[in-house]
Structure 1
Amino acid sequence: MQAIVDFILEVDKLKAVTRKIRLRDIGRYENSAEHSWQLALLAGSLAPHAPVGIDMDRVIRMLLVHDIGEIDTGDTMAFVEGGWDERKAAELAAVRRIFGLLPASEGERLLALWREFDESLTPEAVFANAVDRAMPVLLNLANQGQSWRENGISHERVVRRVGPPIQAGCPALWAFLEERLADARQLGYFGEDVQPG
């Protein structure tokens, strides 16, 4: 029991990891714990549009653990280019440490889910990655492109980064978003194409 309590108190730190996008209609930025929770709800809500046979429970569990490593590494904006191998290695070390707080069988199970999401080879992981890429788009659309404008992210860069994984995992969601992204471009929701910090 103590190991479970130690783990759950450690993951409480995910609430302190600030992301680059503001909550809808609220001035503060979201944190990674809120992001993971919202992804789990979005995935469940998208179940009618998921590929046939998807294990939605597995998808939701993946989404709940996919950013645990950010407790040690912090959040990296999806549009940062370069350095991904180093960041992934640091995240892997972090999740090994954090999941290592649990009894071995449970820690190994969560690490396997984290790896499955990261490798994005199973239908569940492909769908989970689509959901992960879509949520910031939905928030940016609701916030008139706040994060895109603040970080100099162009329409082309958004489409290039999020289009393929969303299309691969949930084509109906991409069809919905593609049209809204075109409208957002006309409304000036995007920034100049610069490398975000």
Structure 2
Amino acid sequence: MIPENLLKQIEFIKEIDKIKYIQRRTKLFASDRNENDAEHSWHLAMMAIVLSEYSDAEIDLMKVVKMVLIHDIVEIDAGDTFIYDQNKNHDNTEEELKSAKRIFGILPEEQAKEFIEIWTEFEDGISNEAKFARSMDRLEPLLQNTSNNGGTWEEFGVKYQAVYEKKKIIKNGSTELWNYAESLIEDSVEKGILKK
């Protein structure tokens, strides 16, 4: 007899395969191919592991890794909202919460509860782990856009002030990484790949 929890977990694993089909606006490093949500989440997990020493506060790295791996799973239902979208707010929405409850709800009750709590904690951005995880989430596309001569900034006419406002969240998790990010933003202006 196969345990009921195992069957639920396998169903969840099959369901989240759909994240591989969610295309982001950002392109891979030095590439013209769009990144998908699975690639993005994996990259953030690796970044968190590699860059954890730059967190301003002590963090539970495993919790950060969980956050970055599950934070975009809700986009299976809710879709990816471009961070610079002028019409739809990028922040946590009812649509995303509904998606979180449906998708994580496939899991056994205790796991579902844990995943929803971790997802909510990331979205709230208050804990040290959430601050650092969100730093990773904002740093990765910055690195991509600078490697692609402006990438989505150029493609969608995104200006300096919008980039600066969205990226300054990095400093909530890491002063050192924010200093680096800020220098990349200013360098991008000097190179003409980000317009003031």
Query: Smaller-chain TM-score range?
Result: over 0.9
| 2:81 is equivalent to residue 72 of structure 1 | no
| 2:193 is equivalent to residue 189 of structure 1 | yes
Pick the aligned partner of 2:22 from 17, 35, 38: 17
| Displacement of 1:187 | 1.3
For 1:92-144, what per-residue CA distance to the aligned partner results, in whole angstroms no more than 9, with x for missing partners? Answer: 10010000111100111111100000111111111111111111001111111
Letter aligned with residue 150 of structure 2: G
Corresponding residue SS for 2:93:
helix
Within 5 Å, give how 1:154-173 maps onto structure 2: 154-163=159-168, 165-173=169-177
Q: Distance in 2 between matches of 1:179 and 1:162?
A: 12
Pick the aligned partner of 2:12 from 3, 7, 14: 7
Q: Distance in 2 between matches of 1:47 and 1:86?
A: 25
| 2:169 is equivalent to residue 177 of structure 1 | no
Contact conserved, 1:99 with 1:107, CA < 8 A, in 2? yes
Query: Which aligned segments of 4 or more residues in structure 1 are displaced greater than 4 angstroms?
Result: none
Contact conserved, 1:62 with 1:117, CA < 8 A, in 2? yes
Q: Distance in 2 between matches of 1:189 and 1:146?
A: 9
Within 5 Å, give how 1:16-35 maps onto structure 2: 16-35=21-40
Q: Distance in 2 between matches of 1:86 and 1:135?
A: 18
Corresponding residue SS for 1:46:
helix
- Gaps spanning 5+ residues in structure 1: where? 193-197
Q: Distance in 2 between matches of 1:51 and 1:191?
A: 30
Q: Distance in 2 between matches of 1:187 and 1:26?
A: 19
Query: More deviation in 106-115 or 45-54?
Result: 45-54
Q: How many residues align?
A: 191
Letter aligned with residue 175 of structure 2: P
Letter aligned with residue 88 of structure 1: T
Rate the CA distance shift 1:166–1:86 in 2: closer, same or farther, 3 A. Answer: closer
For 1:78-103, what per-residue CA distance to the aligned partner results, in whole angstroms no more than 9, with x for missing partners? Answer: 11245438961101100100001111
Specify the alignment match of 1:145 in structure 2: 150
Contact conserved, 1:150 with 1:191, CA < 8 A, in 2? no
| 2:133 is equivalent to residue 124 of structure 1 | no
What TM-score does the superposition give when structure 1 sets the normalisation length?
0.92
The alignment yields a C-alpha RMSD, in angstroms, of 1.6
Corresponding residue SS for 1:84:
coil
| Displacement of 1:186 | 1.5
| 2:53 is equivalent to residue 48 of structure 1 | yes
